[in-house]
């Protein structure tokens, strides 16, 4: 049973604060009311990060609001959620995090064609302050160029 899903919850600050090295798509272990809240679009990954605990990868500080139609069996909004990756991918990520001091950042939470929640995570390196200023400068320059082109094409 295929269903049309437009749920895409993004971490907009991640692109500004980090430089991405490698990206992975991971499944998430969720309870029944959590997936229902995500399908309603009531989740946030803006302040979240990933870390290893006993060889398993968990997403920390991901906020999934309580499901509105649930009874007292609802879930905790900010609990740790286990991420599902291949053993080879987990070993690669854990090695990179331990040796080179990189971090794992969630980028986008979405629901795939089969109705399963997936999280795109990235192995990332934090940007320095001057890199962030350079990003702002490039964005402003690009915006000004597009304004000039638009004004020129209207004549």
35 found inside a domain: yes
The structural domain count of the chain equals 1
Is residue 3 pLDDT above 60, yes or no?
no
Q: Per the domain annotation, does 75 fall within a domain?
A: yes
Instruction: Decide if 27 is inside a domain.
Output: yes
| 139 in a structural domain | no
pLDDT 10s digits, 83-100: 999 999 999 999 988 898
Residue 32's pLDDT band (cuts 50, 70, 90): confident
Average confidence (pLDDT) over 66-82:
75
Domain interval for residue 16: 8-127
Q: What are phi and psi of 128, to 5 degrees?
A: -80, 170
Scored b (16 or more CB within 10 A) or e, 104-143 reads bbbbbbbbeeeeebbbbbbbbeebeeeeeeeeeeeeeeee
CATH number where 80 lies: 2.40.280.10
Asked, for residue 109, whether it belongs to a domain, the answer is: yes
Residue 102 covered by a domain? yes
Residue 72 domain-assigned?
A: yes
| 95 within some domain | yes
- Residue identified by tokens 């990003």 is 135
What pLDDT, on a 0 to 100 scale, did the predictor assign at position 84?
A: 92
- Among 1-5, 82-86, 127-131, the range with the most confident prediction by mean pLDDT is 82-86
């Amino acid at each position: 049973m295929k269903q049309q899903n437009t749920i895409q919850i993004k971490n907009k600050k991640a692109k500004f604060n980090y430089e991405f090295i490698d990206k992975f798509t991971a499944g998430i272990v969720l309870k029944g009311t959590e997936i229902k809240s995500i399908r309603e679009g009531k989740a946030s990954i803006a302040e979240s990060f990933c870390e290893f605990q006993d060889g398993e990868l968990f997403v920390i500080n991901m906020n999934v609001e309580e499901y509105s139609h649930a009874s007292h069996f609802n879930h905790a909004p900010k609990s740790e959620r286990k991420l599902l990756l291949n053993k080879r991918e987990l070993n690669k990520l854990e090695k990179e995090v331990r040796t080179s001091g990189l971090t794992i950042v969630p980028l986008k939470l979405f629901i795939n064609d089969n109705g399963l929640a997936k999280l795109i995570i990235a192995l990332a390196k934090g940007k320095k302050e001057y890199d962030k200023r350079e990003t702002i400068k490039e964005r402003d320059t690009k915006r000004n160029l597009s304004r000039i082109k638009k004004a020129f094409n209207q004549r």
